[in-house]
Structure 1
Amino acid sequence: MKKRIAFIGAGVMGASIVRHLLQAGYEVVMFTRTKSKAEPLVKEGATWADSVGAAVVDSDFIFTMVGMPKDVEEIYFGEEGILSSGRKGQIVVDMTTSSPSLAKQIATAAEEKGISSIDAPVSGGDIGARNGTLSIMCGGDKQVFENILPILSVFGEQIIYQGGPGAGQHTKMANQIAIATNMIGVCEAIAYAQKAGLDPGVVLTSITSGAAGSWSLTNLAPRMLEEDFAPGFYVKHFLKDMDIALQEAELLNLDLPGLQMAREMYSELIKQGYGEKGTQVLYKRYEGQ
């Protein structure tokens, strides 16, 4: 018999993950702050819970995927949160991109209650979530990782154990650092092609298969050309990730000028009202030149 999974959060990626779990035959009970976000999934077979505690109490596994570290703190450490409502033997898996230090705090507090914890942020955006091909970066106890691997395999493709608590989040920071500066390069390549009088779509055909190839170039550059700025990953969340990475880098005495530049550019997009758009909206910075 398949185990019961509580899933907290139903954003752009979370909703697709829940669908994969349902299709794989898992019983999924959900809670989101905005119930309307969960209603389509309830129609597809998920069960609605009225609170985090109600979702957690009878579940074997608890997955969380929310927006900000403060949201993670609330659902784990709140009065009716996961750690106050959970029980010995459960496994909690936080898939939110959050701070490594918070992941370590959760792991320590969970262990005191006999609950196992894995930090498992993902990469791949809305496309990866829909296709079940997410890259999942995991930190925590290796045996616990092995125990949940069959579940992660339902919606992930590249699932790698990185080390102890917080290691998954550190790996995600490295991922976000690489994306931040790469996105600038993608935008500037398209802007240059257009300014030179080339057909940018044809240019993309050439450069995506060469040394310049990247996930962003293949998946987000075409959206830029179509003026499709719908979020696969929100600008506001990306800015949060860059802030975490810069804070962690400071603790490591590491200077990251490329990341700092990208952070400033995305901060301007927030000021212009693009926080709810996808990260590819950075291309607007180059339009009209």
Structure 2
Amino acid sequence: MAHTAGNTKIGFIGLGIMGDPMARNLLKAGYDVTAYTLETEKVEQFAKDGGKGASSIAEAVEDADVVITMVPASPQVEAVVLHEGGVLENIREGGLIIDMSSITPQTSIEVAAAAKAKGVRALDAPVSGGEAGAIEAVLSIMVGGEQEDFDAAKPILEALGKTIVLCGPAGSGQTVKAANQLIVAVNIEAVAEAVVFLKKSGVDLNAALDVLNGGLAGSTVLTRKKDSILAGDYQPGFKIDLHHKDMGIVTDAARAVGAAVPAGALVAQLVASLRAQGDGGLDHSALVRSVKRLSGENPDGAN
């Protein structure tokens, strides 16, 4: 049976930059949502705005038909889902876990196996689109799991995104997300290098980026990030810290299957370097700052 707004209770774990707007979009779609996160004030605000708040994972999960987790990385997913007091210990038999975090494919496979052993269904469903995509409910959602479970979950996912694709069995969603993060990181680095090159060449940067974005060099990255890059505004829609974690997943997963990712490996090092320089809390478009430093520019100077 499809999990539509009229017949489904959702437990939502993780009200971060992405999770909070996603949980709110489920409310807007008419779902009954009970949320839990470590920051009590976020839970309280969610409840004030029409949702329900929980003081523990158990409370968020106990009456839920579906549990969505949106946390930073594999260790948090393991803690939230697999450990004592977690989702699997409290969700009802036959319930569905949709993990929308970006984690290693292997962790998703382990979660799916543990869920199956307890009579619980599981999907890995990481997303792409950043904070703006989460707010606007236009995320791209890459799903791993069984067709029947995907079909049941699709109405929920349609409240969160526009491109929703079952990519294969458990772990497949995370593998595709790793590829997504590879493409995004290399794209941002290319944009960053072009920005610094154009600026040092004395070209009208705004005009140059407009015309580039109208041709084959155009990209969602350039469309989404152009104005903030020009303004030197790196408020995080997706933090360097998180992209650093994702590039580790990409390089490890590629090594495991024998795939060469030379450009990805280089950009992974540039992301790590930027993080080491104290910029881990900034948006991943802050790779511009790294290229500025390498080019002898003040990273805090105007673009």
CA shift for structure 1 position 253: 1.5
Match of 1:24 among 24, 29, 35: 29
Cα displacement string for residues 212-235 of structure 1 (whole angstroms, at most 9, x for unaligned residues): 111111111321110110111011
What CA distance in whole angstroms lies between the structure 2 residues aligned with 1:40 and 1:273?
A: 31
CA shift for structure 1 position 204: 1.2
CA shift for structure 1 position 116: 0.5
The answer as to whether partners of 1:2 and 1:25 remain within 8 angstroms in 2 is no
Give identity over the alignment, percent: 36
The answer as to whether partners of 1:136 and 1:159 remain within 8 angstroms in 2 is yes
May I ask how many residue pairs the two structures share in their alignment?
289
Residue 149 of structure 1 is matched in structure 2 by 154
Residue pairs, 1:233-244, within 5 angstroms: 233-244=238-249
CA shift for structure 1 position 283: 0.7
Letter in 2 for 1:267: A
Q: Secondary structure at the match of 2:123?
A: strand
TM-score, scaled to structure 2: 0.93
Residue pairs, 1:155-194, within 5 angstroms: 155-194=160-199
Q: Secondary structure at the match of 2:279?
A: coil
Q: Secondary structure at the match of 1:272?
A: helix
What CA distance in whole angstroms lies between the structure 1 residues aligned with 2:229 and 2:42?
A: 27
CA shift for structure 1 position 40: 2.4
The answer as to whether partners of 2:46 and 2:53 remain within 8 angstroms in 1 is no
Q: Secondary structure at the match of 1:179?
A: helix
Cα displacement string for residues 125-168 of structure 1 (whole angstroms, at most 9, x for unaligned residues): 01101111000000000110011101100110000110100000
What CA distance in whole angstroms lies between the structure 2 residues aligned with 1:37 and 1:278?
A: 21
Cα displacement string for residues 149-202 of structure 1 (whole angstroms, at most 9, x for unaligned residues): 011001100001101000000000110111111111000111111111111111
Long gaps (5+) in structure 2: 1-5, 298-303
Residue pairs, 1:1-289, within 5 angstroms: 1-287=6-292, 289=297
What CA distance in whole angstroms lies between the structure 1 residues aligned with 2:7 and 2:25?
A: 14
CA shift for structure 1 position 32: 0.4
CA shift for structure 1 position 118: 0.4
TM-score, scaled to structure 1: 0.98
Of stretches 123-132 and 255-264 in structure 1, the one that deviates more from structure 2 is 255-264
CA shift for structure 1 position 2: 3.6
Letter in 1 for 2:275: I
Residue 301 of structure 2 is matched in structure 1 by none
Structure 1 vs Structure 2 CA RMSD: 1.0
What CA distance in whole angstroms lies between the structure 1 residues aligned with 2:259 and 2:160?
A: 34
